[in-house]
Structure 1
Amino acid sequence: MIENRKYIVIGVFCLVGLVYLARLFYLQILDDSYSLESSSNSIKRVIEIPYRGQIYDRNGKFIVYNTPVYDLYVTPKKVQIPDTAAFCRLMELERSEFDSIMNNAKSYSYVKPSLFLRQLSKEDFARIQDALVDYRGFEHVTSSMRTYPAHTLANALGYVSEISKKQLDEQETPYYRQGDYIGRSGLEQQYEAVLRGQRGVKFVMQNVHQVVKGSWKNGAFDSLAVAGKNLYTGIDVEIQQYADTLMQNKVGSVVAIEPSTGQILAMVSAPTYDPNALSSRFFSKSYSKLAKNPYKPLINRPVMASYRPGSTFKLIQAMVALQDGAVAPSSIFSHAGSPMKCHCNRSGRLNLAGAVQYSCNPYFYHVFRRLLYNNNERNTFKASAMGLHHWHDMVSKFGIGQKLGVDLPGELKGSLPDADYYNRMYGENHWKFSTVYSLSIGEGELLINPLKMANVAAIVANRGWFYTPHLVSGIGKPGEGIDPKYLEKHDVGIDPHHFEVLAEGMQGAVEHGTTTMAANIPGITICGKTGTSQNKKGKDHSIFVAFAPRENPKIAIAVFVENAGWGGIAAASVASLVIEKYIKRRVDNHALDKKVKESNYLPAVTLPKKPAPKKYEMPKDSAAKPLIVKTIPQLPTPVPVETKSLASRPATTNGN
């Protein structure tokens, strides 16, 4: 019995020993991953950064592509610089910059290479390449930077820059490392996940001094970097560039949409800048200069600025009132009882199409009143609340008061007040139609961005439906890979036949209504609506929305020109020229083209004067002890610049 137990114990020990031996054999002989981990001192893991995806316009033209550049690295222990001053001149560096870079490199490691200069162009590298042989310790690595050949669409495209510490800490799945580049705004940020590609890994052997001695195991464990996917957009670069020239010396936006697809043809934010300015090693200086510009060129106004829509909102009022049965195309209203003035001098002889054509304020005052009281409630306070609630629900179907969902970051939802809003402001049953009548002509608490008004023009062009506006029409290949929400048709709940009366009035507004006659383009039937948005801090903003041609529309557009006054002049002129350029592929109205390009609506920006230094009188008893006083003049305070129109009370009485 005892003998049997002895053999059992010996067998168990032998079995355990065999298991250990087998495991050691697997780890040391068969498993290369263990060999890799155990060789961490001699095997270096090198990350290969892929090329970012490129961006094209609707005609296959490059909007963004990658240009090879050179990153210069320094190994402090190897550095030998005979003449530091000459070296700084060669590198176009100040001595303080050189000292700072070298101190950072030494803090990182004496024997490992670290970044010295990033993104040297081919020309810059060619200039210094031969001279580098005289300066030991420097080596270069080929990289790439974003290049914008069209020099346009800066705000919509966005930019890439080095990832911040906050972004590194907040990333859900570890991917980025310190020094990596990431999309920071516009399409570069929105489509970062597909543009960045997939990084590769390469293992190399190095000696004790971290000098690379070749590939490890002939690259058996290496993985290749996969370039990012290309983006194909609906942008027409030629139209975009032309719209840029029209918006020179102006603050505002131009948004043009293809109604049948929802693809954005042009998106101008003025004033703008050359996107190449934020795609070089001088990024910090360029960004700082743009950030200090009082006209705020870094703001993407088509989606981030908010304005009162003014009389352009009358289009929505008319559609909602027709669908609700509050008015008919033949309805005529007197000016009597309206607190608003009318600039059309028609004394209430207009039907709905005529009211749109001449932008009659009293007419739409009565239309809105009918809308709010189009119920059986006799109490005026309750009737107003019920009517406004119903009105809010119908207007919101046009995308007002919410984010449309454009494929850009930073879109504002704007403001569409409802009964709850006024209950909070005035108290329940303490407000009625006379409190909110300014909404009838697009003033008061309404706030909207230019993209939404361009979409409203597309809705009228389509006779009641729209696709969510979007820039990208294809990912990887044209017409493929985009979010399905951009292929979903949205119906606004208005019967198609109601739009014909609007189209008639809008055509009349352009041909012989509130629009300057110069904006009437021969051979193109333009349907448009003017608007003037009140601005408390300066001249009113000029607004114009339109689509063309009237039948089978090809383009819908919204133009906002801040501080330009009447909507039928500045904004309408820009819109008509963009429409002509897109449909005809040329501009025949040279006089209007010249006038618009020469127009300057930039608001004056005056810096406060530096206060005079205070004068000090010597005390009477200062003969024995002279008093020395040093005065420090105050620095001028930053100039506040308005970037969006804010809603305000009371109700307004103008608009066109």
Structure 2
Amino acid sequence: MRKLLLASLIILTAIALLARLYYLQVVSDISDKNIEQDVAIEAVYDYPERGYIYDRNGNLLVANQPAYDIMIIPREVKDIDTLEFCSLLNITKEDFTQRFHKARTYSPIKPSVFIPQLSKEEYAILQEKMRKYNGFYIQKRSLRHYLTHVGGNILGYISEVNERDMARNPYYQSGELIGRQGVEMQYEEYLRGKKGVKYLQKDRFNRQIGRYKDGLYDTLPVPGKDVHLTIDEDLQAYGELLMQKKHGGIVAIEPKTGEILALVSAPTYDPNLLVGRKRSKNYTALYNDSIAKPLYDRGLLAEYPPGSPFKIITALIGLQEGIIDEHTSFSCNGGYRYGSRIMRCHCGRASNQLDYGIAKSCNSYFANTYRKTIEKFPSSKEGMDVWHSHVKSFGLGDFLGYDLPAGRPGKIPNSDLYDRLYGKNRWGPTFNISNAIGQGESVTTPIQLANVFAAVANRGFFYTPHIIKKINNEPIKFEEYVKPKYTTIDSKHFEPIIQGMHKAYTDGTARGAQMEGINIGAKTGTAENYVRVNGVRMQLTDHSIFVAFAPIEDPKIAIAVFVENGYYGARVAGPIASLMIEKYLKGEITRTHLEKRMLEKSLEEEYAKPYSGKPFTINR
């Protein structure tokens, strides 16, 4: 019995030892999760080529170029001539110490970037001498190579990850690159690819002795995916050219798809400035330019009063609610009077029907429409909420859901706002009558206003604006970009509106934008421009606004142009919009005199002026 017990203990012990060995070597193999934590194993990464970026016509916008990083493993840095090394790298001893400390803080045993983005010439000088400097080696990677000088606000840039990036996503390690702003940021996971890795075994003297497990757990890099944008490079470049020496934004959309054809922010910057070792210095200069603000995407972020283009929404709501029809007429005689106040008008007509109300941008016509819309309901609160719901259905007061990381929602007022301002049941439509003409508490971004007129061009629906067209040459399949969104306005009400916009183009405020062979629906706008200085509200030169779509019969482009301090809509924004339409639809410019005038038009003196406007007092 004792012999049997002893034999059983020996057998059980042997089984336990074998099970433990099996667990350690197979089940809980170090390669499972903790391979990179083992000090006897060094992970060497192989970085993939980042995906290319093309425009809608297949023009290559962004490719790659080789670059070289000097990597450091702090624990292995021994017996080097620091002064000689600093001289080769053109850095100071203090800089060396600071970089070494940063790398050691990150990890004494893991590699990190010591000097990023050496040029080919610098690499050629250093590669033969690196063997003298224990703990340092050169790693090849790719940087962006821009084959275009436009669209910096669209493309974005790449830069080294920071601690916040690494904490948010464990994929990244110190020294790696990540997309910032624009497409590079929005589509980072597609563009970056997947890095490969080689695991190298080390002996007790910290010398490499070969691949860990003969490379069983090594992986190859997976290249990033190419992306095709909806942007038309030629149209984008032309828009940026026209907006030189001006501040503002242009957004052009293809109504049938929601594809963004151009997204101009002015002033802008050349994306090539944010590549390589000079990126940080150039970025700082761009960031600190508080007047031009080239990094501020005015097409997505700038919020302006929509001005007279908003009258189109006022009219559509009036039609939907049965307040007006295309034959409804309102008197003007210089403005809309309510109580002892007047909203002045310059339409020059004693009365207007809907078409001429739009064509001549009659304030009185739309003030009457707005007031009657609110007063249709038992209370101003109910009327205001109905109005608010209609306006929101056009995508205003919302981020729209487009695929770029920057944006502002704008603002569309509702009854709660006026309850807070004036008290419940203590206000009516004359308290906010300026909403009728896009001057009240409403503010919009250029992309929102372009989207509104894409919806008008489509007779009542729109697609979410987006900038991605293909990924790896496959058309996008994102549901949010292919599913239409409908406004609360019946499609039948858009025809008289479109005819009124066409009359504005042929015989109204937008007639200066006429060109041969293209029927356009257009609306001019002038947005009042106020700033507050030392607590006093000051009025500056108005913003110039123009919205349009063309051709009316089969709309291929809807556009919104905002020019800051450009004065009335037909002065600057209108000519720029019409030239953009002609460029896109005809491929060439026939009105060279108009083009020359816009190219030479500068508003820099306007922007350089101190605040010299007159104090403005709100009279409710």
Query: What TM-score does the superposition give when structure 1 sets the normalisation length?
Result: 0.84
1:529 is matched by which residue type in structure 2? K
SS in structure 2 of the partner of residue 282 of structure 1: helix
Q: Which of the pair has more CA radius of gyration? A: 1
Query: Is residue 528 from structure 1 mapped to residue 522 from structure 2 by the alignment?
Result: yes
SS in structure 2 of the partner of residue 511 of structure 1: helix
1:351 is matched by which residue type in structure 2? Q
| CA displacement 1:156-214 (0-9 Å, x = unmatched) | 2222222222333344xx32222222223222222223222223221113344544343
Q: Label 1:107 to 1:233 Cα distance change in 2 as closer, same or farther (>3 A).
A: closer
SS in structure 2 of the partner of residue 371 of structure 1: helix
Query: Is residue 413 from structure 1 mapped to residue 414 from structure 2 by the alignment?
Result: no
Please, which moves more after superposition, 34-43 or 554-563?
34-43
**Identity, % of aligned pairs?**
40
SS in structure 1 of the partner of residue 343 of structure 2: coil
| CA displacement 1:241-262 (0-9 Å, x = unmatched) | 1111111111110100011110
Deviation at 1:43, TM superposition (A): 2.3
Deviation at 1:490, TM superposition (A): 1.2
Query: Is residue 347 from structure 1 mapped to residue 342 from structure 2 by the alignment?
Result: no
Rounded Cα–Cα distance in structure 2 between residues aligned with 1:111 and 1:491: 58
> For the Cα contact (< 8 Å) 1:335–1:362, is it kept in 2?
yes
Query: Is residue 308 from structure 1 mapped to residue 305 from structure 2 by the alignment?
Result: yes
Q: Label 1:307 to 1:107 Cα distance change in 2 as closer, same or farther (>3 A).
A: closer
RMSD: 2.9
Task: Please show how residues 564-603 of structure 1 align to structure 2 within 5 Å.
Answer: 564-602=566-604
Rounded Cα–Cα distance in structure 1 between residues aligned with 2:599 and 2:67: 37
Rounded Cα–Cα distance in structure 2 between residues aligned with 1:260 and 1:240: 19
> For the Cα contact (< 8 Å) 1:76–1:102, is it kept in 2?
no
Rounded Cα–Cα distance in structure 2 between residues aligned with 1:93 and 1:511: 66
Deviation at 1:79, TM superposition (A): 3.2
> For the Cα contact (< 8 Å) 1:53–1:197, is it kept in 2?
yes
Rounded Cα–Cα distance in structure 2 between residues aligned with 1:250 and 1:65: 30
SS in structure 1 of the partner of residue 312 of structure 2: helix
| CA displacement 1:376-427 (0-9 Å, x = unmatched) | x3xxxx2x22211111111111011122111112321111111111111211
Deviation at 1:34, TM superposition (A): 4.7
Q: Label 1:104 to 1:513 Cα distance change in 2 as closer, same or farther (>3 A).
A: same
SS in structure 2 of the partner of residue 528 of structure 1: strand
Task: Please show how residues 151-162 of structure 1 align to structure 2 within 5 Å.
Answer: 151-162=149-160
Deviation at 1:511, TM superposition (A): 2.5
Deviation at 1:317, TM superposition (A): 0.9
Query: Is residue 51 from structure 1 mapped to residue 46 from structure 2 by the alignment?
Result: no
Task: Please show how residues 481-500 of structure 1 align to structure 2 within 5 Å.
Answer: 482-500=477-495
SS in structure 2 of the partner of residue 329 of structure 1: coil
Equivalent position of 2:535 in the other structure: none
Equivalent position of 1:622 in the other structure: none
> For the Cα contact (< 8 Å) 1:412–1:449, is it kept in 2?
yes
Query: What TM-score does the superposition give when structure 2 sets the normalisation length?
Result: 0.89
Gaps of 5+ in 2: 532-539
Rounded Cα–Cα distance in structure 2 between residues aligned with 1:257 and 1:648: 38
Deviation at 1:329, TM superposition (A): 0.4
Q: Label 1:24 to 1:401 Cα distance change in 2 as closer, same or farther (>3 A).
A: closer
> For the Cα contact (< 8 Å) 1:444–1:650, is it kept in 2?
no
SS in structure 2 of the partner of residue 551 of structure 1: coil
Gaps of 5+ in 1: 609-639, 641-646, 652-656
SS in structure 1 of the partner of residue 359 of structure 2: helix
Deviation at 1:353, TM superposition (A): 0.9
2:346 is matched by which residue type in structure 1? H
2:470 is matched by which residue type in structure 1? G
Q: Label 1:83 to 1:40 Cα distance change in 2 as closer, same or farther (>3 A).
A: closer
Task: Please show how residues 351-390 of structure 1 align to structure 2 within 5 Å.
Answer: 351-375=353-377, 377=378, 382=379, 384-390=380-386
Please, which moves more after superposition, 24-33 or 308-317?
24-33
1:316 is matched by which residue type in structure 2? I
Q: Label 1:208 to 1:308 Cα distance change in 2 as closer, same or farther (>3 A).
A: same
SS in structure 2 of the partner of residue 553 of structure 1: coil
> For the Cα contact (< 8 Å) 1:69–1:142, is it kept in 2?
yes
Equivalent position of 2:536 in the other structure: none
SS in structure 1 of the partner of residue 529 of structure 2: coil
Q: Label 1:314 to 1:650 Cα distance change in 2 as closer, same or farther (>3 A).
A: farther
Q: Label 1:8 to 1:352 Cα distance change in 2 as closer, same or farther (>3 A).
A: farther
| CA displacement 1:249-298 (0-9 Å, x = unmatched) | 11110100011110000101111111222222222211111111022111
Please, which moves more after superposition, 203-212 or 433-442?
203-212
Total equivalences in the alignment: 595
> For the Cα contact (< 8 Å) 1:544–1:571, is it kept in 2?
yes
Deviation at 1:112, TM superposition (A): 7.9
> For the Cα contact (< 8 Å) 2:106–2:174, is it kept in 1?
no
Rounded Cα–Cα distance in structure 2 between residues aligned with 1:458 and 1:190: 24
Deviation at 1:82, TM superposition (A): 7.2
Rounded Cα–Cα distance in structure 1 between residues aligned with 2:106 and 2:530: 54
Q: Label 1:540 to 1:428 Cα distance change in 2 as closer, same or farther (>3 A).
A: same
Query: Is residue 561 from structure 1 mapped to residue 563 from structure 2 by the alignment?
Result: yes
Of 261, 264, 271, which residue of structure 1 is paired with 2:260? 264
2:259 is matched by which residue type in structure 1? Q
Query: Is residue 227 from structure 1 mapped to residue 230 from structure 2 by the alignment?
Result: no
Equivalent position of 2:508 in the other structure: 513
Equivalent position of 1:449 in the other structure: 445
1:205 is matched by which residue type in structure 2? Q
Please, which moves more after superposition, 289-298 or 187-196?
187-196
Equivalent position of 1:14 in the other structure: 10
Rounded Cα–Cα distance in structure 1 between residues aligned with 2:261 and 2:528: 28
SS in structure 1 of the partner of residue 64 of structure 2: strand
Task: Please show how residues 250-289 of structure 1 align to structure 2 within 5 Å.
Answer: 250-289=246-285
> For the Cα contact (< 8 Å) 2:332–2:349, is it kept in 1?
no
